[in-house]
Amino acid sequence: MRTTLLLTGVLLAAPVLAGCTDNATGSDAAGSDDRSFTVAASDDACDVSGSQAPSGALRFDVTNTGSQITEFYLLADDGLRIIGEVENIGPGVSRSLTIKAPAGDYLTACKPGMRGDGIRAAFTVTASDDGEQQLSASDQQRVDEALAGYRLYVRDQSAQLLDKTARFVALYKAGQDDRARALYPEARTHWERIETVAESFGDLDPLMDAREADLEPGEDWTGWHRLEKDLWPAEAGAYRAMTPAQRATYADDLLANTRTLDDRIQDLDYTVDAVANGSRGLLEEVASGKVTGEEETWSHTDLWDFQANVDGARVAFEGLEPIVADHDPALAEQLTTRFEQLQVLLDAQRTADGFRLYTDLTQPEVKALADAVNALSEPLSHLTAAIV
């Protein structure tokens, strides 16, 4: 059982998550009807009985009316940070999610087939006095909530990584190079969002994410960037394209490693300093590889990775933000502001299908991004000390 590996039963103790209890009663939801909702989750719809609630403990009773296993999520309005989820709801099964939510904009999502972004809808939580009382929590509760939220986030990103990697390698093996090239940065987004977690598996990381320049002489080169070079051979000079058999070998290897990674991530548990250090670490990844354009040597899709690293760092910070705001409000405010300032610069580089290529950026644009990364990284290096 995976749950036996959880430290201190954090997940079960955290009221935020509630999650897996079929027998929760109305009393868990503060006995307030305007905080209780039903969700009819079919194969092509996600009907929530309301789209607005006062802050406090919310309850969602989810019934799977479809034919596939489904999941239900309450997400922060960035669509990335998971406030709460129920997984593995079989056809005909009902489960409930009880969760504490402060005022703000959210998204509800059902994931029939447990794939993709899910069927999403906006959900608003308004401020309410009795709700704020319900929300006051001790540091330990907040830590538990932050850790549980982060754990869910990593698992969700890993699942999406596995899903998109499977599609990517299928396209690549089938010689559908245009479609493979289009999916490449999108799939890698999920890797980059959890890069510091993935890198904690020292055996998998070099097999999956090594760049050619990282290799020792004679070392076999596998993973994403091996395929990247084969998909963008024009950049590679006298490069000899892989045969279909070679393609299959390297593609299957990447998929197998991605599956292993996903398996291991199910068992992972986190400490609060690991989450904080992971946030800092993701910005270091940006500073050392993405803002320099060294990560995607052939595809030049570095800004996708850049954004994904920033996503992961921000999600980790936002989970910890209530604690930081208590201990060091100036730091919390500064980090929030500087995440926003960096995001403004990244948004300016967006195109219809993603981001401009690194090689299309001007030197002043790169410098401005580097400045914003430095501006954020310096206070981010104080995050761990502010929460432990």
Per CB under 8 A, which of residues 133..192 are in contact with other proteins? none
Opening angle at CA 320, ends 386 and 262, nearest 5: 125
Per CB under 8 A, which of residues 41..60 are in contact with other proteins? none
Q: Kindly state the smallest distance separating residue 332's Cβ from other proteins, in Å.
A: 15
Q: What is the DSSP string of 11-28?
A: HHH-TTT--S-TT--GGG
Per CB under 8 A, which of residues 192..231 are in contact with other proteins? none
- Please give the Cα distance from 154 to 340 (Å, whole number): 22
Tell me 92's DSSP state.
Answer: T
Helices (H), the chain: 10-13, 129-135, 139-173, 177-193, 195-199, 204-209, 224-231, 244-266, 272-285, 302-327, 329-347, 363-380, 383-387
Q: Kindly state the smallest distance separating residue 379's Cβ from other proteins, in Å.
A: 7
Q: Using the rule CB under 8 A, is 379 a contact of other proteins?
A: yes
Burial class (CB in 10 A: 0-12, 13-18, 19+), 25: exposed
Q: Pick the closer one to other proteins by CB: 181 or 382.
A: 382
Per CB under 8 A, which of residues 77..136 are in contact with other proteins? none
Per CB under 8 A, which of residues 252..291 are in contact with other proteins? 273
Instruction: Tell which one of 73, 338, 358, 369 touches other proteins (CB under 8 A).
Output: 338
Which residues sit opposite 53 in a β-bridge?
A: 125
Instruction: Tell which one of 93, 174, 330, 388 touches other proteins (CB under 8 A).
Output: 388
Q: What is the DSSP string of 177-188?
A: HHHHHHHHHHHH
- Please give the Cα distance from 118 to 83 (Å, whole number): 15
Per CB under 8 A, which of residues 339..378 are in contact with other proteins? 363, 367, 370-372, 374-378
Tokens of 140: 């330990």
Q: Kindly state the smallest distance separating residue 234's Cβ from other proteins, in Å.
A: 27
Q: Pick the closer one to other proteins by CB: 350 or 367.
A: 367
Q: Pick the closer one to other proteins by CB: 260 or 334.
A: 334
Q: Using the rule CB under 8 A, is 38 a contact of other proteins?
A: no
Q: Using the rule CB under 8 A, is 330 a contact of other proteins?
A: no
Q: Kindly state the smallest distance separating residue 283's Cβ from other proteins, in Å.
A: 12
Phi, psi of 381 (to 5 degrees): -70, -10
Tokens of 38: 């039903």
Tell me 358's DSSP state.
Answer: G
| # of chain residues touching other proteins (CB under 8 A) | 19
Q: Pick the closer one to other proteins by CB: 133 or 337.
A: 337
Binding site for other proteins (CB under 8 A): 273, 334, 338, 363, 367, 370-372, 374-379, 381-382, 384-385, 388
